[in-house]
Structure 1
Amino acid sequence: MLRLRRMLILILATFGSLYLVLCVAVFALQRSLLYPAPKGTPPLAEGDGFSRLPLEGGLFVDLFHLPAPPGAPTVVHFHGNGEEVLTQIGLGNLMQARGLGFLTVEYPGYGASPGRPTEEGIYAVAEAALAWLRAKGVSAEQTVLSGRSLGTGVAVEMARRGHGSRVMLVSPYTSIPDIGATAFPFLPVRLLARDRYDTASKAAAVKLPVLIIHGEEDTLIPVDMGRRLGTLFPQAVVETVAGAGHNDVLEDPGKVYRHRMASFALGEP
């Protein structure tokens, strides 16, 4: 009996140690999982809409800006965690063709921009980009905040800080810990998460009109998260896309939902 007890204690201790090691590994590596920045992007030459935004400490991020016609809104778009500024050109061109301005900013450690991405660091870059836009005469009332996937958390935080007049969220999440808990239910993700992007807790403070677009077959960020956010924002419209997943919700041949975003940004029905 004593031998069996010792064996059970040894087994439990081994599993406990392995579980602790797994938790430590997740804590240490979580930012590499959350920010899988595309590699190998060469430095972007200034011109054709591209410019460089200086940051503190000698750092910088790249911008892509298409000015708005006089009096028209500018869409400020924050991309997903597996994207970069270069992949936003098509969206920008469509917005410009619809009579809107467009601005997207790189994250630290993405593209050719140095540094490492963190929640607070990305917020700081977003603030700097919006200040750059203000200096060009674009007011908060003329600014439509937009985000996709990871970028939805950035857009909501900027809206909470009073930077825009409308908000567009493509494949949004309630919070990063919520996503982690869904993917790793056996880990204490809510205790381990360093970057939280807690959109659900901020939603009630965002009184602006909000458009939520979410693929019904999204296996990365469940569509139920988008639907739940629709109940938390005071002025939200939720549009789900049948048959669409996480990465193809805006990629249909007719670009229907990209045009839907443009119409919303223009204040059209």
Structure 2
Amino acid sequence: MPRLRRMLFLVLATFGTLYLVLCVAAFALQRSLLYPAPRRTPPLENIEGFSRLPLGEGLYVDLFYLPAPPGAPTVVHFHGNGEELLGQVGLGTLMEARGLGFLAVEYPGYGASPGSPTEQDIYAAAEAALTWLRAKGVTAQQTVLSGRSLGTGVAVEMARRGHGARVMLVSPYTSISDIAAMAFPFLPTRLLMRDRYDTASKATSVKLPVLIIHGEEDTLIPVDMGRRLGKLFPQAVVETVAGAGHNDVLEDPGKVFKNRMASFALGQP
């Protein structure tokens, strides 16, 4: 019996050590998983529509901007974690064709922008871009905040800070902590997460009209998260896309849901 107890103790100690190592690795590597950060060189500031916004301390963030016609709203868009600024041109040209302005904001460490992405640094870049837009005469009442996947958390935080009049969320999540808990149920992810983007806790304070678009076959961010958020925002409309997953929810040939976003941004039915 003493020998059996010693063996049991060694097994439990080994398991505990391996589990601790796994937790430490998850804590250390989580940002590389959350922010795959596509890179692009050279910088884009010499291409029409692209510009560079200084952030201080040698940092900057790239922007893609199409000015609105006089009096029309401007859509400010925050992209997903596996995207970059250059990939937002198509959405921007569609919004421009519908009579809207468009501003897409790069994240630190993405594309050609220097730095490392974190929740707070992405918020800082987003707020700097919105301040830049205000200086161009675009008011908060003329601003429609838009986000896709990771960017939905950024859009909601900017709405919470009073930067827009409407909000559009494509494939939103309740929080990154909830996503991590689904992906790694055997880890204490809620204790380990450094960047949480807790949209659910902020939703009730966002009194603006909100449009939520979510693919019904989304296996990364379940459609039930979009539906749950639709009940938390005081003024939300949830539209689900049959047969669509996470990466193809806006990619239908007829651009039906991109045009739905444009109509919502314009205040149309």
TM-score range, shorter chain: over 0.9
Following TM superposition, by how much is the alpha carbon of 1:15 offset from its aligned partner in structure 2, in angstroms? 0.7
Give the 3-state SS of the residue equivalent to 1:239 in structure 2: strand
1:165 Cα deviation after fit:
0.2
The whole-number CA distance in structure 1 between the counterparts of 2:121 and 2:182 is: 26
- Residue type of the partner of 2:64? F
3-state SS, counterpart of residue 204 of structure 2: helix
The answer (yes or no) to whether the contact 1:42–1:111 under 8 Å persists in 2 is no
Aligned residues: 269
Task: Output the CA distance in 2 between the equivalents of 1:142 and 1:56.
Answer: 27
Query: Who is 1:239 aligned against?
Result: 239
Output the CA distance in 1 between the equivalents of 2:48 and 2:79.
Answer: 20
Q: Deviating runs (4+, > 6 A) in structure 1? A: none
- 1:39 positional shift: 2.6
Q: Is the 8 A contact 1:123 1:154 kept in 2?
A: yes
TM normalised by structure 1 equals: 0.99
Query: Does residue 88 of the first structure (1) align with residue 102 of the second (2)?
Result: no
Aligned to 1:215: 215
Quote the offset at 1:94 in angstroms. 0.2
Say whether the 8 Å CA contact 2:45–2:62 is kept in structure 1. no
CA distance in 1, matches of 2:128, 2:106: 11
Gapped regions of structure 1 (runs ≥ 5): none
Structure 1 residue 143 corresponds to structure 2 residue 152:
no
The match for 1:114 is 114
Contact 1:46 1:52 in 2 (8 A): no
The residue aligned with 2:228 is: 228
Q: CA deviation at 1:47?
A: 3.9
- Measure how far apart 1:48 and its partner are: 1.1
Distance 1:93 1:229 in 2: 29
C-alpha distance in 2 between matches for 1:240 and 1:42: 38
| Structure-1 residue corresponding to 2:186 | 186
Corresponding residue of 2:169 = 169
Q: Does 1:53 align with 2:53?
A: yes
What is the CA-CA distance between 1:43 and the residue it aligns to? Answer: 1.3
Per the alignment, in what secondary structure is the counterpart of residue 205 of structure 1?
A: coil
User: Helix, strand or coil for the counterpart of 1:231?
Assistant: helix
Matched, 1:248 2:248: yes
Question: What letter corresponds to residue 82 of structure 2 in structure 1?
Answer: G
Q: State the shift of 1:44 in Å.
A: 1.0
Percent of paired sites with the same residue = 85
* Partner Cα separation in structure 2 for residue 62 and residue 118 of structure 1: 16
* Displacement after TM superposition at 1:58 (Å): 1.2
Write the distance in 1 (CA, Å) between the matches of 2:161 and 2:39. Answer: 31
Give the secondary structure class of the aligned counterpart of 2:102: strand
Which string of whole-angstrom CA distances, capped at 9 and with x for unpartnered residues, describes residues 46-90 of structure 1? 341000000110111110000000000000000000001000000
Aligned to 1:266: 266
Cα distance per residue 1:223-255 (max 9 Å; x no partner): 110000000000000000010000000001011
Aligned equivalents of 1:117 and 1:246: distance in 2? Answer: 22
Q: Which residue of 2 aligns with 1:78?
A: 78
Deviation at 1:45, TM superposition (A): 3.3
Quote the Cα distance in structure 2 between the aligned partners of 1:3 and 1:227: 55
Distance change in 2, residues 1:40/1:85 (3 Å): closer
CA-based RMSD: 0.7
What secondary structure is seen at the aligned counterpart in 2 of 1:186? coil
**Other structure's SS at 2:144 match:** strand
Aligned equivalents of 2:4, 2:229: Cα separation in 1: 52
Shift of 1:137: 0.2
User: Per-residue CA shift, 1:145-192, capped at 9, x if unaligned?
Assistant: 000000000000000000000000000000000000011000000000
